[in-house]
Chains A and B, each alone.
Chain A
Amino acid sequence: MADTPLTDSGIRRDGRARAMAERPNEAGLRRDGMLERLRLYGLSSPAILLILVILVLPVGWLFYVSFIGADGSFSLENYERMIKSKSYTRIFMTTFQVSFLTTGLCILIGYPLAYFISQLPPRLANLCLITVLLPFWTSLLVRTYAWLVLLQKTGLINTWAISLGLWDEPLKLVHNMTGTLIGMVHIMLPFLILPVYGAMRAIDRDFMKAAANLGATPKRAFWTVFFPLTTPGLFAGSLMVFILCLGFFVTPAVLGGGKVIMVSMKIVSNIELFVNWGAASALGVVLLVLTVAILWIASRFLRLEQIAGGGH
């Protein structure tokens, strides 16, 4: 590497130290290397520019608007309203309630399934994984619609349950909290299962053998050896689910039937119905700050790409 001609590029780090010792013009070389790396970095500029113009600047503007009162001067009234008004408090309570319940249900349902699939032979496991990936890829609007059709009063579940004698009157399964939770859990499950499954697959099965060999009961071996090794995946998955739930709009809007009002829905109605940008922005800022705070705390335990990329 040290013998290659001095072009402006292609000098690897390990080669650079040697090149510097032998070459007198190391300062120039270093500058060339830096310029080359900056040029390479420049390749990401279209992406950066798009994200800045479409996302960062407008959200920054929302931040600003949230501090402007109805009379056009600086004021905290948009935030005060959030604390004082009972309806806003209720919206935040609902949002947290839905997010916590969905995350908890996803863990309860997703963990056993991930465990089951992770112990199957690879071919069968891949087949079972399709049942997780198919809904993951399907439009969430389509899945929400499917639940609406199944859960409505004249829907499949009510008609079948009544004909089987499970209940007599059609139950109200949709346009309320029940319907919202069913839809949300169905949509969020893959986000939990995939990272947990990844973490489980990566565990060396001999650990469990060793635990059994050393006299641990199956239960003890599971809880002291297996489960702790899956916690990073479980943590990443739960976090992703929780954050997605906090800002979710489509499913609660369709399946909640106006009875489950979450923060994102209030933001939309503030703009569409009341054209109140200040109130909408303030809600948006709180939602964003919450999300960032949770991610920031999580990033001390996990790398961000683990959360985004699913646990590993």
Chain B
Amino acid sequence: MLNWFKSPATETQVTHGQRLWLYVLSVIIMVLLVTPTLIVIPMSFSDSQYLEFPPEVWSTRWYSNYFGSDEWMLATRTSIKTAFLTMLVATPVGVLAAYGLHASNVRFVRATFVLMITPMMVPLVLVAVGAFYAYARLNLLYTIPGLVMAHTVLALPLVVIVIGAALKSYDMSQEEAARSLGAPRWKAFLTVTLPQIRFAVVTAALLSFLTSFDEVVVAMFVSGGDNPTLTRNMFNALRDQIDPTIASISTMMILVTTLMMVLAQIFGGQKQPGGH
């Protein structure tokens, strides 16, 4: 152990002992990054109104509260429906766009790419207020199609970035080979290119799902009435008081996220999700 302290840790011969502060600090930061989210899980099983940790009396009363409430169930259905539809729309639209931009090579490709990632850069509140205004006139307010379209716009930058990165490392001459052998372009794309970027497509699809499922601000404005989302209701409940039911909902949202992450790791291959 003493030897380890004195052994060099870096190329510049700083020893592990001299860097101990860095190790301690890093571990503390990592614990602080993860625990606040994870601690909600055991707390949601506390019987107390104040969500003790560790719970003195364990119970599932907040879960029965959640599953027994028509309001929360309606919101859950809306959220899942919207997220699923957003995934189904954003993925093909984004893949087509990324492929078109990659292959076409016209002068305004760069400008179009910037347009594609603007939804990521524009403050969400503006997107929400703008959509709210537009939907009021198009009669799309508080409807699933409206919500799906707005969430698709938010998910598109992610899809275009993830697919664009995959296409960059893909050799387009394979598609050209298929076409010189007589395959039409669409067939060459579907049978040669798409199978090779499928991991990126899966990652993009999962990211679109999560983007919609977790989105709060736009949903606050354009969802409601018969179609409130889970996040909208949660946010409203948080502003009023701390309802422990939200802990049980949070736990389930963490599970959904973890499931998506695991799926992305399994089907998304070795590459880190999110374009990093």
Query: Which of these binds chain B: A56-64, A72-80, A84-92?
Result: A56-64
Query: Which of these binds chain A: B57-65, B67-75, B113-121, B190-198?
Result: B113-121
B154 to chain A, nearest CB (A): 9
> For B214, what are the chain A residues with a Cβ–Cβ distance below 8 Å?
139-141
Taking a contact as CB atoms under 8 Å apart, the answer to whether B261 and A142 are in contact is: no
- B30 contacts chain A at the CB level, 8 A cutoff: yes
**From A149, which residue of chain B is reached at the shortest CB distance?**
B51
- A254 contacts chain B at the CB level, 8 A cutoff: yes
- B23 contacts chain A at the CB level, 8 A cutoff: yes
Taking a contact as CB atoms under 8 Å apart, the answer to whether B37 and A59 are in contact is: no
- A97 contacts chain B at the CB level, 8 A cutoff: no
Q: Which size class do B's interface residues fall under?
A: 35 or more
Taking a contact as CB atoms under 8 Å apart, the answer to whether A310 and B114 are in contact is: no
Taking a contact as CB atoms under 8 Å apart, the answer to whether A291 and B119 are in contact is: no
Taking a contact as CB atoms under 8 Å apart, the answer to whether B100 and A43 are in contact is: yes
Interface of A is mostly: helix
A139 and B210 alpha carbons, distance in the complex (Å): 8
A115 and B9 alpha carbons, distance in the complex (Å): 13
> For A217, what are the chain B residues with a Cβ–Cβ distance below 8 Å?
12
A245 to chain B, nearest CB (A): 10
**From B146, which residue of chain A is reached at the shortest CB distance?**
A54
The A-contacting residues of B in range 68-97, CB under 8 angstroms, are 93-94, 96-97
Taking a contact as CB atoms under 8 Å apart, the answer to whether A116 and B12 are in contact is: no
**From B19, which residue of chain A is reached at the shortest CB distance?**
A116
A69 to chain B, nearest CB (A): 18
Contact flag A212-B275 (CB < 8 Å), given A264-B125, A271-B129: no
Q: Which size class do A's interface residues fall under?
A: 35 or more
- A231 contacts chain B at the CB level, 8 A cutoff: no
Taking a contact as CB atoms under 8 Å apart, the answer to whether B238 and A145 are in contact is: yes
Taking a contact as CB atoms under 8 Å apart, the answer to whether A109 and B29 are in contact is: yes
A246 and B124 alpha carbons, distance in the complex (Å): 11
> For A305, what are the chain B residues with a Cβ–Cβ distance below 8 Å?
113, 117, 161
- A198 contacts chain B at the CB level, 8 A cutoff: yes
Taking a contact as CB atoms under 8 Å apart, the answer to whether B25 and A112 are in contact is: yes
> For B238, what are the chain A residues with a Cβ–Cβ distance below 8 Å?
141, 144-145, 148, 254
**From A114, which residue of chain B is reached at the shortest CB distance?**
B26
- A70 contacts chain B at the CB level, 8 A cutoff: no
A133 and B114 alpha carbons, distance in the complex (Å): 26
Taking a contact as CB atoms under 8 Å apart, the answer to whether B34 and A264 are in contact is: no
**From B40, which residue of chain A is reached at the shortest CB distance?**
A146
A269 to chain B, nearest CB (A): 11
**From B177, which residue of chain A is reached at the shortest CB distance?**
A10
A243 and B120 alpha carbons, distance in the complex (Å): 10
> For B97, what are the chain A residues with a Cβ–Cβ distance below 8 Å?
43-44, 46-48
A234 to chain B, nearest CB (A): 15
Return the CB mask of B241-258 against A: 1 if under 8 Å, else 0: 010001100100110011
Contact flag A139-B217 (CB < 8 Å), given A44-B100, A55-B127: no
- A6 contacts chain B at the CB level, 8 A cutoff: no
Return the CB mask of B138-154 against A: 1 if under 8 Å, else 0: 00000000000110110
B118 to chain A, nearest CB (A): 7
Taking a contact as CB atoms under 8 Å apart, the answer to whether B180 and A40 are in contact is: no
A247 and B101 alpha carbons, distance in the complex (Å): 29
> For B36, what are the chain A residues with a Cβ–Cβ distance below 8 Å?
143, 146-147, 150, 186
A243 and B105 alpha carbons, distance in the complex (Å): 30
A137 and B206 alpha carbons, distance in the complex (Å): 11
- A101 contacts chain B at the CB level, 8 A cutoff: no
> For A145, what are the chain B residues with a Cβ–Cβ distance below 8 Å?
40, 234, 238, 246-247, 250
Taking a contact as CB atoms under 8 Å apart, the answer to whether A142 and B33 are in contact is: no
> For B33, what are the chain A residues with a Cβ–Cβ distance below 8 Å?
131-132, 134-135, 186, 189
Taking a contact as CB atoms under 8 Å apart, the answer to whether B125 and A304 are in contact is: no
- A205 contacts chain B at the CB level, 8 A cutoff: yes
- B166 contacts chain A at the CB level, 8 A cutoff: no
A164 to chain B, nearest CB (A): 15
Contact flag A62-B216 (CB < 8 Å), given A142-B40, A222-B12: no
Taking a contact as CB atoms under 8 Å apart, the answer to whether B242 and A149 are in contact is: yes
Contacting residue for A247 out of B105, B126, B261, CB 8 A: B126
- A308 contacts chain B at the CB level, 8 A cutoff: yes
Taking a contact as CB atoms under 8 Å apart, the answer to whether B118 and A142 are in contact is: no
- Chain B interface (Cβ within 8 Å of chain A)? 9-14, 22-23, 25-26, 29-30, 32-34, 36-37, 39-40, 43, 50-51, 53, 93-94, 96-101, 103-106, 108-109, 112-127, 129-134, 149-150, 152-153, 156-157, 160-161, 165, 176, 179-180, 185, 210, 213-214, 216-217, 220, 231, 234-235, 238-239, 242, 246-247, 250, 253-254, 257-258, 260-261, 272-276
What are 14 A-B residue pairs whose CB atoms fall within 8 Å in the complex?
A41-B109, A44-B96, A44-B97, A50-B153, A62-B133, A116-B22, A119-B9, A146-B37, A150-B36, A186-B36, A246-B123, A264-B125, A308-B121, A310-B276
Given contacts A41-B104, A48-B115, A141-B214, 9 further A-B contacts (CB under 8 A): A40-B104, A41-B108, A54-B149, A113-B25, A116-B26, A141-B216, A208-B11, A308-B117, A308-B275
The 9 A-B residue pairs with the shortest CB-CB distance in the complex, in nearest-first order:
A247-B123, A58-B130, A43-B100, A40-B104, A47-B97, A44-B97, A116-B26, A208-B11, A139-B214
